Amino acid sequence: MKRIFTIMALIACAITSAQNIDDVLRYSTENVQGTARYQGMGGAFGALGGDLSALSTNPAGGAVFNNSLFTFTGTYYDRNADAAYQGLTTTINSNSLDINQVGGALVFKTKNQDSRWKKISLALNYDIAQTFDDRISASGQSNEGIDNYFLDFADGISTEDIRTRDNETLTEAYLDIGAAQGLGYPAQQAFLGFQSGIIDPTPGDDTETTYISNSADSPLFQDFRQTVSGQNGKFTVNGATQYGEKFYLGASMHFHNVLFDRLNRYQEEATTANAEGTRLTLENLLQTEGSGFSFGVGAIGKLSDFIRLGASYQSPTWYRLTDNFTQRISSNYRNRNTEIDGSPFLGTNIFDYQIKTPGKLTGSIAAVFGKNGLLSLDYGYQDFSNAELRPTSDSFFAAENTFISERLGTVSTVRLGGEYRIERLSLRAGYRYDQSPYEDGNIIGDLVGVSGGLGYNFGGSRLDFAVNRTDQDVLRYFFDTGINTPAVVNQINLNFSLGYTLNF
């Protein structure tokens, strides 16, 4: 007889696989977005200032503004992902349009000619610090199946702990297992595998703590699809001042708002027609909401009319996040003598946690060629091994933090930008390099970006356009355990930005 089983569960457990090193990296990195001028020059504004998005790099840049202004920027995002898995390459493209920056600054110049404090500026700015929107598709033939995932979790767990009791619904059993001391998320995954018939206790094992697979004993065709949406928005409150003719100081507070949705859909099917296990589909949906706070301080100094230096410190960002994790699994096989058609069930467990990202130090130098143009270079340094999941009193988080400190290392970032002016027209170009946060550089590769742009000054306003391209290779594992061969994904992001600045 054929047995069909379908489960749907909303999960966020006290013991969880949802919070791990991937979450830390997701919220510890930012893209070069912001104003079109900022993007066109690769974000190299640490010693320049005079741009609203540059306040996140060096808060002292707010004092460089000569007048009050308002700026907004819209960006068209084009994303391309080539995923190579088991000899097959799948390409998927996605795109979106968004207002990624809006803000303004007020400049107050001193009326006291004898004062060394020349002006102060107050600025408010909103930037999309990170756009999560993405799609990935990978498929190929393999002998490693999803049964290994469930076997890894089930090993050592008694079958008695993952059975339903008399008159107990699947929902009740699932939630009871998640709340039980010593069981939690691993036992819930074993429960899914056992109740759906993918795994069974080993025959002859009186302890019923070892398991065998009911999956097809044949090569499997696997299809993995990931759809991600959301963003990390950053609202900046900045204050800066100019002292004398050559020195600028500033400080910023950043308030983050996080929305993140990720749907992973994995499907495998036996390639042999008479195989006992024929088809399985597993869907995981992670939904995260939260907020964060960070601050920054910085200084800019003019060594001469030609050379400027900048230095800044960006604090760690302290996030408070809430996860909801949903799973749905369907299996179809022939080795049972009963038929069960189970309705989807829901169980609600919500998990709150915190993340502390690494702080960042930035040193900058710029050469200004009068009204003809400029060159600018930023170097940033972060130690990702200091990132943490919190509370650290949680034994799972403590173990994961140890793993983070061992696998992640120091990261160097380089931003190089230039601008050449022809009367009212500005030509811009930029380069970006972000070192992999992994010590071995394997899971996430180095990111390389190039950009270019144009600007036209109308006198009382300015129109800017930028093109920004980044290229990065990442290894995408379908699951944390069980299937050990990753897809190699080449991600190319191309952004087209148009911004308008009004001076007043």
Q: What is the pLDDT of residue 230?
A: 95
Tell me the angle at which helices 170-179 and 184-195 cross, rounded to the nearest 10 degrees. Answer: 150
Residue at 164 is within a domain: no
Residue at 127 is within a domain: yes
Residue at 155 is within a domain: no
Q: How far apart are CA 342 and CA 284, in angstroms?
A: 19
Q: Which of 418, 343, 363, 355 is nearest to 384 (CA)?
A: 355
Q: For residue 457, what are the CA distances in angstroms to 164, 260, 419, 454, 473?
A: 71, 38, 13, 10, 38
Sign of the Cα pseudo-torsion (93, 282, 84, 451, in order): positive
Per residue in 269-322, pLDDT tens? Answer: 887 766 555 678 888 888 999 999 999 999 999 999 999 999 999 999 999 999
Per residue in 99-151, pLDDT tens? Answer: 999 999 999 999 888 899 999 999 999 999 999 999 999 999 998 899 999 99
Q: What is the pLDDT of residue 82?
A: 96
Q: Which of 200, 192, 178 is nearest to 283 (CA)?
A: 192
Helix (H) or strand (E) holding 422: strand 410-422
Contact predicate 161/173, CB 8 Å: no
107 CB neighbour count, 10 Å cutoff:
20
Q: What is the pLDDT of residue 274?
A: 61
Helix (H) or strand (E) holding 135: strand 134-142
Number of structural domains in the chain: 1
Please give the single-letter amino acid code of residue 56: S
Low-confidence ranges of the chain (pLDDT < 50): 1-17, 335-346
Q: Which of 367, 366, 105, 116 is nearest to 242 (CA)?
A: 116
Contact predicate 250/238, CB 8 Å: yes
Residue at 192 is within a domain: no
Residue at 178 is within a domain: no
C-alpha 272 chain-centroid distance? 39
Q: Please give the model's pTM, rounded to 2 decimal places.
A: 0.89
**Helix, coil or strand: residue 205:** coil
Alpha helix positions (H), 86-180:
147-154, 170-179
Q: Which range marks the domain in which residue 276 is found?
A: 3-146+215-503
Residue at 203 is within a domain: no
Q: For residue 37, what are the CA distances in angstroms to 54, 126, 310, 427, 489?
A: 10, 16, 19, 10, 30
Residue at 391 is within a domain: yes
Q: What is the CATH number of the domain that holds 142?
A: 2.40.160.60
| Span between the terminal Cα atoms of the chain, in Å | 77
Residue at 191 is within a domain: no
